[in-house]
Every structure is written in C-alpha cells, then in structure tokens.
C-alpha cells in the first residue's frame, strides 16, 4: 500500500542538539510539506517542496532546515536555533491519484526537548 512513513514516532532531544525527522513516501507525489502542530493551533507550514532539489520556506521556517535530494524523501532537521522545538511534526504530500488531487499525511513525530 502507498503512503507516507515518518520516523521516529517519538524523539527526545537535549537543548543544543540538532535532530532530523525522516519522511518517506511511495506515492510518487511531487509536492511534500512539513507542518508543526501545537495544542489549540492549526497546522503551521515549516517548509514545502514542489519538486526535487527545490524547496521554499513556510510561515515558521526559522530554526529548521530541509533537503529534497530524492522525490520520495523530504527530511526535516530541527536545529539548535529553534527556540521552542517541542511539538508534533507532520509530513504530508499531495498529488494525483485516479484523476483526483489527494492529500496524504504521515503518522507524525513527537519531539520533546529535555
């Protein structure tokens, strides 16, 4: 079955450390996204990529970095510059399946800074 795989599901980080969250999709979709979810708030866009080797900053990109070296992979690095990184992170992709535009999410990664 096609879908998005995020890992790890839970991650603990000490202050000052960089961590990388993995996002892999086998849907052959071009566009991929990283969102951050905090309690009581809607999903906020961190970065998105419409095509391999190209990505754009979202609304809250400071303290994060991404790469898109392969169509199926869009890893997110949370750097030590991100002041409040504890949150739930969701990866998504969108593309055409059976003639319809579909939006698919991964199961999420919960990052806690100790």
- Interface with other proteins includes 52 (CB under 8 A)? no
Closest distance to other proteins from the beta carbon of 93 (Å): 10
Q: How far apart are CA 8 and CA 24, in angstroms?
A: 12
| Count of positions (residues) in the chain | 114
- CA distances for 102 relative to 51, 78, 81, 110, angstroms: 17, 27, 34, 24
DSSP 73: B
By C-beta, is 80 or 110 nearer to other proteins?
110
Sheet holding 64-66, edge to edge: 4-7, 19-25, 76-78, 64-66
Query: Could you give the string, one character per residue 6-45, with x where binding to other proteins holds by CB under 8 A and - elsewhere?
Result: -------------------------x-x-x-x--xxxx-x
Closest distance to other proteins from the beta carbon of 52 (Å): 15
Query: Could you give the string, one character per residue 67-106, with x where binding to other proteins holds by CB under 8 A and - elsewhere?
Result: ---------------------x-x-x-x-----xxxxxxx
């Amino acid at each position: 079955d096609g879908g998005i795989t995020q890992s790890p599901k839970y991650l603990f980080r000490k202050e000052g450390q960089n961590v990388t969250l993995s996002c892999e999709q086998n849907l052959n979709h071009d566009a991929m996204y990283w969102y951050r979810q905090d309690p009581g708030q809607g999903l906020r866009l961190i970065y998105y990529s419409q095509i391999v080797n190209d990505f754009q900053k979202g609304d809250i990109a400071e303290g994060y970095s991404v790469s898109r070296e392969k169509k199926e992979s869009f890893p997110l690095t949370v750097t030590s510059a991100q002041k409040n990184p504890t949150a739930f992170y969701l990866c998504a992709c969108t593309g055409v399946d059976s003639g319809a535009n579909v939006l698919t999410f991964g199961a999420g990664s919960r990052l806690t800074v100790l």
